[in-house]
Structure 1
Amino acid sequence: MLRPLLRRDYRLLFVTLLCALTTDGMWLVSVVWQVIHMGGSATSVSLVSGAASIGLLVSTLAGGVLADRVSQQRILFVLELLKVAVIGGIGALVITGAITLPVLMAGSLALGLVSGFYFPAYSALVPRLVPPGELLAVNGYESAVRPAAAMAVGPAIAAWIIAVADPGAALLVAGAICLVAALWVVRIRVPQADGADADQPGSPLRELWEGVQYVRRTPWLLASLLFASLMVLVTVGPIDVLLPFAIKDQAHGAASEHSMILAAYGFGGVVGALFMAARTMPRRYLTVMIGIWGIASLPMLVFGIAESVWPMVIAGFVLGVLFEAPVVIWGTLLQRRVPRRLLGRVSSLDFFVSLVFMPLSFALAGPVSQAIGLTATFALAALIPIPLAVVAILAARMPQDELEHPLRDEDEDEDDGEVEADGDDVAGGEVAVAGGEVAVAGGDAPVTPTVNAPPPGRTVG
């Protein structure tokens, strides 16, 4: 499973991913607590977080097109330098006392734009450095380290620095980490024959539309993406925007307690991803995937009622397990059922569609909580995904579909996968690694998606 890390160039790329995710986690905690230090409300945090998700949403599809036409290594290098300027500049303004809420929003928007270009380029570069037979292993442990870095390591580093200094110092350290990542990127040796293609057939818009049409006529894929979009709408805002206020007002905690809960989520994500990666593909893979995601938000009930930190920590761990375990199924599912020639576009649309409602989720979280209270808001976020999952499973006839298209483990190493009913290209063989997540996530997270989408998971990050 760890064989790809023995390859020098992928190992360098993997280090840059860890740096990117860690700095995303540091930004998440630092900017939230900077807003709180400035006397801001949940609505203020919504504005800052929403700016990041808008930037991510705007740049994602363009990032996918650019990654197919320009050196991905060059894209990553430029983006890391931009992150140094943005994060380091915001940190300097915080330390000098010149920071304002509009400046934080502008910085968050810029980082969202960067992330929209970053992850398509990263995902396109991976198969150039790793043989096709090792891509599933890459998908498994990248799914594990994403929540760990974005939700555990990054927030923990930021919380420690905030405790001994202030959010500005944490941001300066994050900027320095981005500089290290840029230096690692330039050391990667990309095979010349596998460089970015200069001659691409067809118009980018026409190729993108072909991907949209494929999603539209593939029920399991369309239903999964619509479900993910609505789940992001109801869960990401409460987690990213309201959780710090629940910690402060109900549990009387601060940045360190916030980082503990995010770390618990991150470690839960590691456990969930590794557990799922170590198992065979479930026979009812669609039902299992959507079903787990449907109940994944139930631990959020605890965030709305707990009066101490430790129940929130436990809830965060369970949340991480349930959100991240299905990500491994999803990544493998795309690789084995989507035609090779469409996989890049479908993955980009997956990322885009999962982010559509993220800005609205951030924008609504604060006002809704002020109208009905934190407890009721978290309760709605915890319960609404359950009926959404049931509707998705039944509307797309997923139980019948998964029996008609079994994904047997003995087929994993074959060059040819299944042929879709509509007659498109054969799936299987060399594929690109699916990016993130939920976002959720934000991841990152909750996918909780944030600056790095969840994660999208989540993207929170």
Structure 2
Amino acid sequence: MIAALTPFRTRSFRFQWPADLCTAWALEMETLILGWYVLVESGSVMLLTIFGALQFVGTLVAPMLGVVGDRIGLRNLLALMRISYAVFAGALLFLALTDRLTPWAVLVVSGLCGLVRPSDIGMRSALVGATVPAPYLVSAMGISRMTMDSAKIGGALAGAGFMAAFGMAPAYVMIVAIHLAGVALTLMIDGGRAAPPTAQARPSPWRDLAEGLGYVWRTPAVLAAMAVATLVNLTAYPLSIGLLPYIARDVLALDQTGLGWLAASYAFGALVGSVLMSLFGATLRPARIMLGAALAWYVLLAGFVLSASAPIAMALLAASGAAQSFSMLAVAIMLLRSTGAQMRGRIMGVRMLAIYTLPVGMLIAGAAIPLTGYHAAALAMLAAGALMLATIAWRWRTVLLPRTAPANGG
């Protein structure tokens, strides 16, 4: 256990961890509160999926933000991004205080925030890779992932409980305060800054981006990891997170507090997975874990979809959260191990492009559910995902499956 905490020997990580924690808590509280608000006020599952999709519209600009991070410094970029979160949360607080808040206003502000938000995970991972020594990297990635998973538990329960007890405006006062605390802690990080200028002129940002995309295309292990990330965002994440308000209210007949527990159960499983990965990840084979855990994720989600009992559904959702954590941490470890320091921001920015399939999957689900029903639409997405995962494993079998392959730490 002590070995798992070695990343905290790095000063920057001691500030980055609580900074990431504050930001993740605030964002998770917002997602749950606003998703429930949009569903209840509009009564439309399609509008709910549009809200969910808008959280990720910025995936298209994430690679360019990665280029910017390599140029101005990852710490500086994260600070600017987190200041914007506080500004957007303040706008929603103002609308709530003046009784001008509507589902359409939520969609507009969420769309603006969504231009930046998807890049946060990639940039914080790149900053960990830039500041934490290589021997501590697996443990640091597990601990970093724990900030998101614990935020999904605490943020879900706190957001649902605080909103139900006090209303929208008081909840957003707390959210703005947490965002500002995250900004302050981010500014205290002393690593991942811009490289010193050289006499030689730097290439254009577009050339930097092209180099990042070219590197992904030329590196089979990185390309396979990107393919898996793209696939699960399209077919698994919409059911794991985006549709939870609909599933809670219309499938399992739960209220807002029940939604909080549903989201927290998934996050609890993900937290357990992050802890286990932090403790034992250095001895595991990342490529094999990525594929095996992704398959388990699909199977467990199928059980969740078929569950009519809320306790059983929560148990299966927790197990799927653990599988998700193992798979996505393995993806991150593969990418960071395969990428040099000068390319890290760009590659993690390209990694965020995979999230673009999440809003696509959300919109597909939102359109299919009214036509075919929830169970048929959800099971079709999961079956398609499992089939495509098998295709990826076969296509890159010589890179991903042998124990001695570099992607497995061989």
Tell me if TM exceeds 0.5.
Answer: yes
Amino acid in the other structure paired with 1:377: A
What is the correspondence of 1:52-451 to structure 2 with a 5 Å cutoff?
A: 52-54=55-57, 56-127=58-129, 129-149=131-151, 151-190=152-191, 195-199=194-198, 201-279=202-280, 285-352=286-353, 354-398=354-398, 402-403=402-403, 405-406=405-406
C-alpha spacing 1:98/1:283, structure 2 compared with 1 (3 Å): closer
Farther-moved stretch of structure 1 (322-331 vs 271-280): 271-280
Contact 1:286 1:402 in 2 (8 A): no
Deviates more, 1:32-41 or 1:221-230: 221-230
1:174-208 superposed Cα distances (whole Å, 9 cap, x missing partner): 111101122223334459xx544445732322232
Cα deviation for residue 241 of structure 1 reads 3.8
Are 2:222 and 2:334, in contact at CA under 8 Å, matched by a contact in 1? Answer: no
Distance 2:300 2:266 in 1: 11
Find the aligned partners of 1:319 and 1:234 in 2 and give their Cα distance.
13
| Separation in 2, partners of 1:322, 1:75 | 31
**What is the Cα deviation at residue 116 of structure 1?**
4.2
How many Å separate the matches in 2 of 1:198 and 1:206? 18
Structure 1 residue 51, shift from structure 2 partner: 1.6
| Contact 1:129 1:190 (C-alpha < 8 Å) held by counterparts | yes
The corresponding residue for 2:42 is 39
- Where 2:202 maps in the other structure, the secondary structure is coil
Structure 1 residues 121-144: Cα deviation after superposition (integer angstroms, max 9, x where no partner): 434443554334333321121123
Could you tell me how far apart the structure 2 residues matched to 1:215 and 1:188 are? 29
Contact 1:72–1:196 (Cα < 8 Å) also in 2: no
Could you list the per-position Cα deviations for residues 312-370 of structure 1 after superposition, in whole angstroms to 9, with x for gaps in the alignment? 21011111111111233223322333455444432221221x12312211222211111
Report the AA paired with residue 234 of structure 1: T
Distance 1:406 1:362, change over 3 A: closer
> Which string of whole-angstrom CA distances, capped at 9 and with x for unpartnered residues, describes residues 41-84 of structure 1?
11111121212211x21331121011111144333333333222
CA distance 1:276–1:129, change in 2 (3 Å)? closer
Does residue 1:51 correspond to 2:74, yes or no? Answer: no
Q: Percent identity?
A: 21
CA contact 2:64–2:205 (8 Å) conserved in 1: no
Deviations 1:254-295 (A, max 9, x none): 121111121111111121122233336577642342132023
Amino acid at match of 2:374: L
Unaligned runs of 5+ in 1: 412-461
Q: Report the CA distance shift for 1:348/1:398 in structure 2 as closer, same or farther (over 3 A).
A: farther
Q: Tell me: CA distance 1:228–1:122, structure 2 relative to 1, closer, same or farther (3 Å).
A: closer
CA change 1:29–1:85 in 2 (3 A) is same
AA aligned opposite 1:16? A
Shift of 1:15: 0.9
With over 3 angstroms needed to count, the CA separation of the structure-2 counterparts of 1:126 and 1:223, relative to structure 1, is: closer
The code of the aligned residue for 2:102 comes to T
CA–CA separation in structure 2 for the residues paired with 1:28 and 1:311: 24
For residues 251 and 46 of structure 2, the distance between their equivalents in structure 1, rounded to whole angstroms, comes to: 18
CA distance in 2, matches of 1:337, 1:213: 14
Distance 1:382 1:306, change over 3 A: same
Conserved? CA contact 1:238–1:377, under 8 Å: no
Q: 1:216 to 1:258 in 2, by over 3 A?
A: same
Query: Which sits farther off after the overlay, 261-270 or 6-15?
Result: 6-15
2 CA distance for matches of 1:98 and 1:370? 30
Please report how far the alpha carbon of residue 87 of structure 1 lies from its aligned counterpart in structure 2 after TM superposition. 1.0
Q: When the two structures are superposed, what TM-score results if normalisation uses the length of structure 1?
A: 0.80
Aligned to 1:418: none
User: What is the Cα-based RMSD across aligned positions, in Å?
Assistant: 2.7
Gaps of 5+ in 2: none
SS at match of 1:81: helix
CA distance in 2: counterparts of 1:400 and 1:104, whole angstroms: 42
Structure 1 residues 270 and 201 mapped into 2: Cα distance closer, same or farther (>3 Å)?
same
Query: CA 1:198 to 1:121, structure 2 compared with 1: closer, same or farther past 3 Å?
Result: farther
Q: Distance in 2 between matches of 1:356 and 1:186?
A: 29
Deviates more, 1:319-328 or 1:281-290: 281-290
Q: Distance in 2 between matches of 1:250 and 1:280?
A: 36
Distance 1:282 1:79, change over 3 A: closer
Shift of 1:170: 2.1
> Greater share of helix residues, 1 or 2?
2
Aligned residue number for residue 417 of structure 1: none
Distance in 1 (alpha carbons) for counterparts of 2:125 and 2:161? 32
What is the CA–CA distance in structure 2 between the aligned matches of 1:408 and 1:250, rounded to whole Å? 40
Q: Is the 8 Å Cα contact of residues 238 and 381 (structure 1) preserved in structure 2?
A: no
Letter of the aligned partner of 1:383 in structure 2? A
SS of 1:232 mapped into structure 2:
helix
For 2:16, which of 13, 16, 26 is the aligned residue?
Answer: 13
The one-character-per-residue Cα deviations of 1:372-409 (angstroms, maximum 9, x if unpaired) are 11111222233322211111111122467635525787
Contact 2:294 2:327 in 1 (8 A): yes
- Residues in 2 aligned to 1:2 and 1:135: alpha-carbon distance in whole angstroms: 11
- The residue type equivalent to 2:387 in the other structure is P
**What letter corresponds to residue 5 of structure 1 in structure 2?**
F
